[in-house]
Amino acid sequence: MSLLVVGSVAFDAIETPFGKTDKIVGGAATYIGFSASYFHKPINLVAVVGGDFPEKDITLLKKHGVNTEGLQIKKDEKTFFWSGKYHNDMNSRDTLVTELNVLGDFDPIIPEAYQNTEYLMLGNLSPQVQRSVIERLKNRPKLIVMDTMNFWMEIALEELKKTIAMVDVLSINDEEARQLSGEYSLVKAAKKILAMGPKYLIVKKGEHGALLFNHEQVFFAPALPLEDVFDPTGAGDTFAGGFIGYIAQTRDISFANMKRAIIHGSAMASFCVEKFGTERLLNLTPDQIEDRVQDFVELVQFEIPLR
Amino acid sequence: MSLLVVGSVAFDAIETPFGKTDKIVGGAATYIGFSASYFHKPINLVAVVGGDFPEKDITLLKKHGVNTEGLQIKKDEKTFFWSGKYHNDMNSRDTLVTELNVLGDFDPIIPEAYQNTEYLMLGNLSPQVQRSVIERLKNRPKLIVMDTMNFWMEIALEELKKTIAMVDVLSINDEEARQLSGEYSLVKAAKKILAMGPKYLIVKKGEHGALLFNHEQVFFAPALPLEDVFDPTGAGDTFAGGFIGYIAQTRDISFANMKRAIIHGSAMASFCVEKFGTERLLNLTPDQIEDRVQDFVELVQFEIPLR
């Protein structure tokens, strides 16, 4: 009954057609943690911030059941900072600023109390850092889920492939799946990527939903058609958090349960994009989440019986 | 028990990354007719070709249950010709040649035997021609489905809106829905378009599936993830043909049955793209179609009960 989340805890400054923010709290592990917290507690966090990171935001994580024993605070350094601007269609964005700061030499130390974790979620980080986490665990978790991005495919492909070979579930977007495999067809891309080692591949397609592949099966989960997408930042991490949180809650790593986990992850992501940053993830109720999951059930439901 | 299909019967020359064709038979009504023929016969066709259109292809339509009494043959003129080249991603294409020929002054004459049709499928044509078909029917069909394209939004928007106001189901792609409504969000776009008159809106998203909206509900049907998309030409028309054919077969215009019709249309479209032109639509068996429909059921099936 334990879940370890490793990833960035950061400051973001976001500009969308609907407005812009000052520096607000973001980072893959932050979104994953808040999202997963609606399904499973505690969440054991390994991450690093600088002395500029507000105490109140660490308190907020703790309130959501995030164990921050593994959160390193480097008093004399600055927190990772990312700034981006979304285009009018909200499907693409320009990165304006990336300041690695404390993330530049992040050494992910695993507290002894975090050992023997059953579930491991590796948020986007350098593949070397992700791999060192796996190597530092005395027992291999039942399920290792890994997120990454095109940046690492460009500058550290061999390191990335070494890490991918060690995980159970790889979660990337459609463009990344195409880049990693060299195949445009997502079916062919999935075959090549599964041949790299992972047993499952999740291909996130943003407003077009997500696909789950294993060697024999494929499942498609839609995204909920929304009136407005206010800010897509963190949607992929929120999806991953809902996915791994649901798996940790239900303790079932079958393909059938991964489908349900994807629907729950998609439901969480559909909340995330309704407000700036993590705001919409802070005060959800179980009923709100269940209603949203039901929206997905209704959206795809049709009556043609499976033979 | 009658289905009227109006649209182009044409020559296409297609170039994709996988190869190119000489002039082959295409056109919206051709794809719609072949696709619908697997669900309902006869299909009463109203269209126009030139003296250059091969007799053997008219025979082929007849073999598939297409009644060609309403197919005008203008001996001294030429058949509509379109030529296009797909980009590497297969999601966009350039039109190389458009020769309207007989379609330039097409006057859709409805044979007396076609009157009292229950179902009308208006394939892409000028909105004036589409409207004149509705006006020439002595009794309004139970269901009128209309396809159109961005071209008419650019050069004949007011005429288009007049025709849209007279139909039950409008079928367009996502970019066209955005252009017609001026809204990027498809949910907002659907509201505006439904306010123009139709009771139902189908938004085709190509490899990303299709959405069906009415004033209260939304349904999402995925596209089948395919190893290769060989030639997307006619996929939208094939989808429409499967949709209206299934409706005509089942004689049920409820939202629940429209969902099933969309799944059947999607299944037919997934065949269409596997070969050039209409080739893949010529020799399907009921078992092959049922197997493909089952692939869709499996693709989206997950076990979270509807409350």
Report how far residue A63's alpha carbon sits from residue A34's, in angstroms, rounded to the nearest whole number: 10
Helix (H, G, I), strand (E, B), or coil: what is residue A215?
coil
- Is the CB of B195 inside 8 Å of chain A's CB atoms? no
| B304, B306, B307: best to mutate for the A interface, most A CBs within 10 A | B304
Instruction: Give kind and range of the element (H or E) at residue B147.
Output: strand B143-147
Report how far residue A250's alpha carbon sits from residue A246's, in angstroms, rounded to the nearest whole number: 6
- Is the CB of A300 inside 8 Å of chain B's CB atoms? yes
Query: Is pLDDT above 80 for B1?
Result: no
- Average pLDDT of chain A to the nearest whole number: 96
Q: Which residues of A touch B211 (CB under 8 A)?
A: 225
CATH 3.40.1190.20 fits B3-300, yes or no: yes
Q: Find how far residue B85's CA is from the centre of its chain.
A: 20
Looking at residue B185, its amino acid is S
Token duo for residue B149: 């394209």
* Residues B10-20 pLDDT 10s: 999 999 988 89
In terms of residues, how long is chain A? 307
Cβ of B302 within 8 Å of Cβ of A226? The answer is: no
Report how far residue A90's alpha carbon sits from residue A274's, in angstroms, rounded to the nearest whole number: 13
Beta carbons within 10 angstroms of residue A55's beta carbon: 8
* Residues B224-233 pLDDT 10s: 999 888 899 9
Mean pLDDT value across residues A175-192:
96
Q: Which residues of B touch A298 (CB under 8 A)?
A: 217, 306
Q: Which residues of B touch A211 (CB under 8 A)?
A: 225
Structural contact between residues A22 and A139, judged by C-beta atoms closer than 8 angstroms: no
Backbone phi, psi, residue A267, to 5°: -65, -45
| A201, A227, A300: best to mutate for the B interface, most B CBs within 10 A | A300
Cβ of B225 within 8 Å of Cβ of A186? The answer is: yes
Share of chain B above pLDDT 90, in %: 93
pLDDT of residue A27: 98
Q: Find how far residue B230's CA is from the centre of its chain.
A: 19
- Is the CB of B202 inside 8 Å of chain A's CB atoms? no
Cβ contacts below 8 Å, chain A against chain B, sum to: 106
Query: Is pLDDT above 70 for A299?
Result: yes
- Is the CB of A208 inside 8 Å of chain B's CB atoms? yes
Token duo for residue B161: 């809106």
Q: Which of B69, B159, B83, B153 is nearest to B113 (CA)?
A: B69
Q: Which residues of B touch A305 (CB under 8 A)?
A: 297
Backbone phi, psi, residue A52, to 5°: -85, -5
Token duo for residue A141: 């978790």
Q: Which of B89, B225, B256 sits opposite A184 (nearest CB)?
A: B89
Report how far residue A283's alpha carbon sits from residue A285's, in angstroms, rounded to the nearest whole number: 7
Mean pLDDT value across residues B20-48:
97
Q: Find how far residue A129's CA is from the centre of its chain.
A: 16
Q: Which of A89, A184, A306 sits opposite B297 (nearest CB)?
A: A306
Cβ of B225 within 8 Å of Cβ of A205? The answer is: no
* Residues B198-225 pLDDT 10s: 999 999 999 999 999 999 999 999 999 9
What residues pair up with B200 in beta bridges, in sequence order? Answer: B169
Report how far residue A239's alpha carbon sits from residue A272's, in angstroms, rounded to the nearest whole number: 9
Helix (H, G, I), strand (E, B), or coil: what is residue A36?
helix
- DSSP for A144-165 reads EEEE--HHHHHH-HHHHHHHHT
What is the least distance, in Å, from the CA of B170 to any CA of chain A?
18
Q: Which of B218, B297, B301 is nearest to A299 (CA)?
A: B218
CA-based nearest residue in chain A for residue B209? A208
Beta carbons within 10 angstroms of residue A92's beta carbon: 11
Please, which pLDDT band fits residue B155 given cuts at 50, 70 and 90?
very high
Structural contact between residues A40 and A124, judged by C-beta atoms closer than 8 angstroms: no
How far is residue B65 from each of residues A71, A165, A227, B34, B58, measured CA to CA in Å?
70, 54, 43, 9, 11
ipTM greater than cut 0.95: no
Q: Which residues of B touch A256 (CB under 8 A)?
A: 302-303
* Residues B170-184 pLDDT 10s: 999 999 999 999 999
Cβ of B302 within 8 Å of Cβ of A229? The answer is: no
- DSSP for A42-85 reads -EEEEEEEETTS-HHHHHHHHHTTEEEEEEEEETTS---EEEEE
Report how far residue B61's alpha carbon sits from residue B5's, in angstroms, rounded to the nearest whole number: 13
What residues pair up with B221 in beta bridges, in sequence order? Answer: B210
What is the least distance, in Å, from the CA of A227 to any CA of chain B?
5
pLDDT of residue B88: 79
- Is the CB of B151 inside 8 Å of chain A's CB atoms? no
What is the least distance, in Å, from the CA of A105 to any CA of chain B?
39
Query: Is pLDDT above 80 for A91?
Result: no
- Average pLDDT of chain B to the nearest whole number: 96
Share of chain A above pLDDT 70, in %: 99
* Domain edges within chain B: 3-300
What is the least distance, in Å, from the CA of A210 to any CA of chain B?
10
Q: Find how far residue B134's CA is from the centre of its chain.
A: 17
CA-based nearest residue in chain B for residue A178? B89
- Is the CB of A216 inside 8 Å of chain B's CB atoms? no
- Is the CB of B17 inside 8 Å of chain A's CB atoms? no
Query: Is pLDDT above 80 for B305?
Result: no
Share of chain B above pLDDT 70, in %: 99
Q: Which of B184, B263, B294 sits opposite A302 (nearest CB)?
A: B263
- Is the CB of B260 inside 8 Å of chain A's CB atoms? yes
Q: Structure pTM?
A: 0.93
* Residues B79-116 pLDDT 10s: 999 999 998 777 788 999 999 999 999 999 999 999 99
Mean pLDDT value across residues B32-60:
98
pLDDT of residue A229: 87
Q: Find how far residue A86's CA is from the centre of its chain.
A: 19
* Residues B111-134 pLDDT 10s: 999 999 999 999 999 999 999 999
Token duo for residue B73: 């043959």
Mean pLDDT value across residues B131-150:
98
Q: Which of B256, B298, B301 sits opposite A303 (nearest CB)?
A: B256
Cβ of B256 within 8 Å of Cβ of A302? The answer is: yes
Q: Which residues of B touch A228 (CB under 8 A)?
A: 185, 188
- Is the CB of A211 inside 8 Å of chain B's CB atoms? yes
Query: Is pLDDT above 70 for A167?
Result: yes
pLDDT of residue B69: 98
What is the least distance, in Å, from the CA of A223 to any CA of chain B?
9
What is the least distance, in Å, from the CA of A78 to any CA of chain B?
38
Cα angle A193, A293, A223; round to 5: 45
- Is the CB of B225 inside 8 Å of chain A's CB atoms? yes
* CB proximity list for A40: less than 8 A, separation 6 or greater: A1, A3, A245, A246, A248, A249
Backbone phi, psi, residue A223, to 5°: -90, 150
Backbone phi, psi, residue A91, to 5°: -95, -10
Query: Is pLDDT above 70 for A279?
Result: yes
